[in-house]
A and B are shown apart, each in its own frame.
Chain A
Amino acid sequence: MSRDGYTGFSRGEARTRTATSLSFETQGPLDKFMRLPWGFILLIAAMALTGIAMLYSSAHTNPAESHLWRLQLIRFGVCFVMMIVLGLLPLSWWMRLAFPAYVGTIVLLVLVEVMGFSGGGAQRWLRIGPIGVQPSEFAKLAVTLALARYYQMVLQPQTGRILVHLGAVAIMVIPAALIFIQPDFGTTLALLASGAVVIFLAGLSARVILTGIVGGVASVWPIYQFVLAPYQRERVDTFLAQLFGGATNALGESYQIEQGKIAIGAGGLNGRGYLQGIQSQQDYVPEQHTDFILTVIAEEFGFIGTTALLIGFAVLLGWSLYSAGRSASWFGRLASAGATATIAFYIVFNVGMVLGLLPVVGMPLPLISYGGTAMLTTMACFGLILAAHMHRDEKLTARGLF
């Protein structure tokens, strides 16, 4: 009975899949376009437009920055179209792209070391024609794809062994190491964290995970002492000092955090109103249009605004994770979940930093912060999530590298 029931389920599912596949084959591109999850897409657009409105608020008083919102709007428009196009790409295309994109990213990261230029104290930028890009941003997506691709290749019911996961760790660690020496501690951590989520979802045994957690905790001090650069250590110190209420130099490292907290706290429940934030309008918070954009929302729209923002993100991420779980292929599941984790860690690192819960790591807030590369990465991640959703029933048979 149980066997029959199981088989029946299996058969039924197989039938459904077949039907979907068949309808996919027969439907035109317009139908497919119409079947996109528009609620999800509109929420993305709404949040991005909110971000542009906040960018205007934070920068309009400064002649040097007052045009940035228009630039960001154009970027968003381009990236929005790109996201939808990516969302319509069959997963098999993504699969073929995965390893070449990974290798290309590694090459770019090496090039940054060799011929990149500096910005903000670290060598992260690479100039390609007229635009400057940060390969470390692309790495997040590339690593996610490569991990998903890898597990699609190796993860079979009979190969549930730990050794399989070592390959995944290698895929993750190589670019992470290259980013770390730039140095970009925040991106390294985000990359490792979202990679770890993918490995976790791929089924690494709980015992190994526990061991890893213990090892990670144990290595905190050695990393702080021997691996971090002095300025990074200083940030951590500052963070710990303000977290535990110690004396901090208001004009030094923690100035940004302090002023950010004042802006957030002063917003209260309702906020001061759009364009009315004292801290925000008078340049008190450095980098406010990029990493500290949340402080503008917090000051001008209060607790209601910040909570609404976090709920918006939770809806996007929750739906993405749910969508990942519905994917038939390991590639679809892990790529979608990895992309979700990437965005989630962006948000957690950024909000945690702005709220003084995490050290200042220089991480933008997805969809909201000003910045082209982050926008591109975020929208590409959403494109991947959309693609996994649209092609959740697609059978993937790839075995080789392409």
Chain B
Amino acid sequence: MSNKKTADLDFAFSRRTAIAGAAGGLVWAGLVARLFQLQILEQEQYRQQAEANHIKLQLAPPQRGRILDRFGRPLASHRRAGRVSVIPEQTDNPERTLAQIAELIEIPDDKLERLANDIRYNRRRNAAFVPVTIANELTYEDFARMNVHEAEIPGLNVEMALTRSYPRGRDFAHVLGYVARASQDDLTRLTDGMTGKEAETLKTMFRHPDMRTGRQGMERFAEEWLRGKPGYRKLVTNAHGRIIEEIPDERLAPMPGRDLFVTIDSDLQRVAIERFAGESGAAVVMDVETGDVLAMVSTPAFDPNDFVNGISSASYAELRDDSRSPLYPRAHGGVYPPGSTFKMVVATAALEAGVIKPEERVHCNRYYHFGNRTWHCWKPGGHGSVNMHQAIKGSCDVYFYEIARRTGVDKIAETAHKFGFGESWVLGMTGGRSGLVPDREWKQRVRKENWYEGETLNFGIGQGQLGVTPLQLALMTARIATEGKPFKPRMIGIGPQSDEDQVLDAPLDQEIMARMKAGMYGVTSEGGGTAYRSGDLGLGGPRLAGKTGTAQVRRITREERASGIRKGENIARELRDHALFVAYAPADDPKYAISVIVEHGEGGSSTAGPVARDILHYALKTDSRRKPAYSQSASLSPNLSDEGEPT
């Protein structure tokens, strides 16, 4: 009995073992079947996924074209700088990654939070592969330290990046402008008129931390010329996104932006800036034969390098609130009353209108009565009896009150336009202004008032509503120097040309222009000239011909005039008049035209004149080597030094 039971149990055990074994066999068969499905049936699909897994196409930004001066010296180029960024898709915990990075380099707390949000934001909007920049411009020590820790911190990306660099710093701030990360506004502007797909590509490209867009100046004007087209890098990566190797592929390479040549001579620019010796002002130098702008100076200026990686709001506020306005592009965006430098325009208008003969004399006893008011000449005691030549040379206000009154506002305005006044000149920059050449129609339209004849008198000596830029004054001077030949100014030697800038070819009588030249020569070289001492260029021969000017910053009161006009230290600096000077040289065979304004410089002959003379001195001394690099050969030399100065 007992044995029987035992045997039954034994049998039951064997049977159950068999069942368990069979069940196990079924499970095993299931596993093999699954392996067969994955490895044999779906093999192709997984092979492709494995390929896609480790080969990544990474957007490669194009290298921005450089901006070179007429000799091919870089004004805007690139500089290598260490950069730390986080690739959002490679970290699950942005805060921890950032905290780890913050142990190695300094990151302000408020920035940490913003960066974490940026990383999240990129992850959310399918841009998880776009790095978020943590710090730019690493010191060598920081860069080395970050490199060592790169493998340990998920998502950390340490690399050398090409950063836009302005080797000449402030010198060209207002000409070149600067680049910055593309803001939402920038993107809206840049993608204007594009199809959806083009716009999307552009936006994706601009998310790359190396990409910058021109925000101001030539950088903005020539954006498309400089930008180039993005490409891709074909990278073999491991699971952590760490790049194992790069597969070169010519077809995917980005197309770099083109270099742009400006006509400016960066040495001349430097000399001009130095000559201002810290004074606020502007100077424009032009080659009157070619129309090339050789110097475009506005001081003080900002350093565009500060803007490339985003300027702090504190630093920006400092620039913005600086009483000397370093952000203000004086040379082409500064509008000033031209003062007496405008007298050649008035004289030309009068001769064109035939209201006066050159030899006709006007008597100046310092006072000019019109209506029930009295106008004054600047010269105590007056000039006596003057013809046109003497009036220009001595800058006699009474003479110009008289001929302006005879000529009339509309005729003066018409002539002013022939010299380039009242128009905005782009020349590849931004921020240019047209100034204002008033006439009856303007007064009626804007002020809803009739023109008063008395205003014509002020117009005659370059005051009143009239506003011009230093660039326009240089154009005027060039037109006089070339005796009215068609004149086309340009500042971009090779690059996109502005179609807004027209040739200045309105007819100007050569004989009249010759008279103006003679008058300007008198100013600097004849007895009674207002800038008699400035005429000699110190080059043993060539002289300059010019015209002084004073732009009133404030009206001179009757009381002041009665008690003698106070000058210099007696009045606050910001109330002193602006000093102007326009000139060309050599006087007998004009080559260069210049306009100079020294803000609050008081006297055209005492401050602006010597500045203009010294700049022209340098321009003529170095004249023989001013041939531009880009005209020497058709092909642009790509070997021009990127960083170094030519020796």
Contact = CB atoms under 8 A, between A and B. Distances in A.
A264 B13 contact: no
B24 A283 contact: no
B444 interface: no
B354 to A, nearest CB: 85
B42 interface: yes
A10 interface: yes
Given A10-B3, A355-B35, A318 B46 contact: no
A310 interface: yes
A279 B50 contact: yes
B31 A351 contact: yes
Contacts of A240: none
B450 interface: no
Contacts of A24: none
Given A282-B54, A283-B238, 10 more contacts: A157-B5, A157-B8, A197-B20, A266-B43, A279-B53, A284-B238, A302-B39, A303-B40, A307-B35, A325-B17
A49 interface: no
B210 interface: no
Interface string B8-29: 1100111011001100110110
B244 interface: yes
B35 A262 contact: no
Given A264-B38, A279-B53, A348 B20 contact: no
Contacts of A352: 31
Interface string B40-74: 10110111011001100000000000000000000
B32 interface: yes
B40 A283 contact: no
A264 B239 contact: no
A269 interface: yes
Given A282-B54, A303-B36, A269 B17 contact: no
Contacts of B244: 282
A171 interface: no
B24 A317 contact: yes
B6 interface: yes
B34 interface: yes
Given A259-B239, A310-B32, A265 B39 contact: yes
10 contacts: A157-B6, A201-B16, A266-B46, A269-B43, A283-B238, A284-B53, A284-B54, A285-B239, A314-B24, A357-B31
Contacts of A302: 39
A197 B27 CA distance: 15
A263 B50 CA distance: 7
A261 B38 contact: yes
A282 B39 contact: no
Contacts of A325: 13-14, 17
Interface in A197-212: 197, 200-201, 203
Contacts of B171: none
Contact of A251 (B8, B27, B46, B89): B89
Contact of A157 (B9, B24, B28, B46): B9
Contacts of B40: 268-269, 303
B89 A310 contact: no
Interface of A: 6, 10, 155, 157-158, 160, 197, 200-201, 203, 251, 259, 261-269, 278-279, 282-286, 298, 302-303, 306-307, 310, 313-314, 317-318, 321, 324-325, 333, 337, 341, 344, 348, 351-352, 355, 357
Interface of B: 2-3, 5-9, 12-14, 16-17, 20-21, 24-25, 27-28, 30-32, 34-36, 38-40, 42-43, 45-47, 49-50, 53-54, 89, 92, 237-240, 244
B39 A203 contact: no
A268 B50 contact: no
Contacts of A269: 39-40, 43
Given A321-B21, A324-B17, A352-B31, A203 B38 contact: no
B239 A282 contact: yes
Contacts of B34: 355, 357
Given A262-B53, A265-B46, A266-B50, A306 B14 contact: no
B39 A201 contact: no
A264 B35 contact: yes
Nearest to B48: A266
A203 B17 contact: no
Contact of A282 (B8, B16, B238): B238
- Of the candidates B7, B28, B35, B238, the one having the most CB atoms from chain A within 10 angstroms of its own CB is B35
Nearest to A321: B21
Nearest to A9: B7
B437 to A, nearest CB: 65
Given A268-B40, A341-B20, A283 B50 contact: no
Contacts of B28: 310, 313-314
A402 B137 CA distance: 76
Contact of A266 (B8, B47, B92): B47
B30 to A, nearest CB: 8
A241 to B, nearest CB: 18
A355 B31 contact: yes
Contacts of A313: 28
A317 B36 CA distance: 22
Given A157-B5, A158-B5, A266-B47, A283 B35 contact: no
Nearest to B237: A282
Contacts of A285: 239
Contact of A264 (B14, B24, B46, B240): B46
A278 B31 CA distance: 24
A344 B24 contact: yes
Contacts of B12: 203
A160 B50 CA distance: 57
Given A157-B6, A200-B20, A337-B20, A264 B54 contact: no
Contact of A283 (B5, B47, B239): B239
Contacts of A283: 238-240
A174 B47 CA distance: 47
B475 to A, nearest CB: 62
A313 to B, nearest CB: 8
B13 A201 contact: yes
A61 to B, nearest CB: 9
Nearest to B16: A201
Contacts of A265: 38-39, 42-43, 45-47, 49-50
B36 to A, nearest CB: 7
Contacts of A282: 54, 237-239, 244
A262 B50 CA distance: 6
Nearest to A270: B39
A49 to B, nearest CB: 22
Contact of B32 (A155, A203, A307): A307
B17 to A, nearest CB: 5
B31 A310 contact: yes
A268 B44 CA distance: 8
A269 to B, nearest CB: 6
B85 to A, nearest CB: 19
Nearest to B18: A325
B50 A306 contact: no
A266 to B, nearest CB: 4
A150 B111 CA distance: 66
Contacts of A298: 35, 38-39
Contacts of A203: 9, 12-13, 16
